Amino acid sequence: MEIKEFAIKIGKAIEKELGEEYEVSIREVMKNNSVMLTGIMISDKIQNVVPTIYLDGFWTEYESGTPMSLVVSKVINLYIRQKPKSDVDISFFTDYKQVRERICYRLIGRENNEKLLEDIPYIEFYDLAICFFYAYEGEELGEGSILIRKSHMETWNVTISELFDRATVNTPKLFPWECQKIDALLEEPVELAGNGEISSILQEVPMRVLSNQKRIYGAGCILYPSVLQQLAVEQGGNYYILPSSIHEVILLKDLGNEDEDRLKWMIYHINREAVENEEVLSDSLYYYDFAQKIVSKI
């Protein structure tokens, strides 16, 4: 059974279970790197904000033998947990003065996001794109983000430069950075790769992981003012920047004997063996020059 057919069956089962007071719709959602996910939206016809529940993981469960009835029950329970307790006032989002203090930036790859980039404001950063989002925080929906699109810019009558200036101030404040030894990351339940060569490199070379404290789109920390310079002072010189995912980058001190092709090979294979497609940032290798205070792409 393909996921579209699965989604339709799930939708019909939910409508039957919940009754006529509810409406169910299926939609495809494009995520980072053009990854398409299948979502289901359940509405009680009263509330003005409806959560999207992605079915791809449930489909995998079903394909692995989980009964359809149990999957339907799980989806309904997730909807009950996620739906707002009351209506959400979204009128504030049309007023730039009300959103500007929580406009932030993050990094995504340009090559795999060409269609998305047609619809959003962004700034080129080598093979990456600096794009913008509103960091939502509220009692009804908890924490989340709203991707800023060109239509929002037109409503607010602001420029990309204004968005970037705001985000440069807001992002470090709302998402403080941290840099840890890679050992700390490896102690967490994260599989980097089942590749012996990669494991050997990680053990041989002292590396540090730069991210934000929430570990959400933490690769953007390389854009924070003075952070790379501060880390260069601490590390005692120049270093390589390896984009391990959209959520963090790995910093490797330049000892003068690094095999750059080997590092590129490692980035390429980690992206394919250990990182979800949606979370890949880039296959490129970058370098921070302490004296010139610039990042370059190798």
Overall number of domains in the chain:
3
Q: Which of 82, 113, 139 is the last residue of a domain?
A: 82
**Whether 203 and 225 share a structural domain:** yes
Q: What is the mean pLDDT of the chain?
A: 89
Cβ atoms within 10 Å, residue 145? 16
> pLDDT (tens digit, 9 = 90+) per residue, 244-268?
999 999 999 998 888 899 999 999 9
* Token duo for residue 176: 């403080």
The residue from 82, 101, 121 where one domain ends is 82
Residues 131, 241 within the same domain: no
Instruction: Examine the domain organization and report whether 223 and 281 are in the same domain.
Output: yes
The pLDDT confidence band at residue 202, using thresholds 50, 70 and 90, is low
Same domain flag for 170 and 183: no
Residues 195 and 293 in one domain: yes
Same domain, 68 and 106: no
Q: Where is the domain boundary, 174, 190, 211?
A: 174
For the entire predicted model, the pTM comes to: 0.86
Helices first, then strands: H and E counts in the chain: 11, 13
Domain encompassing residue 133: 91-174
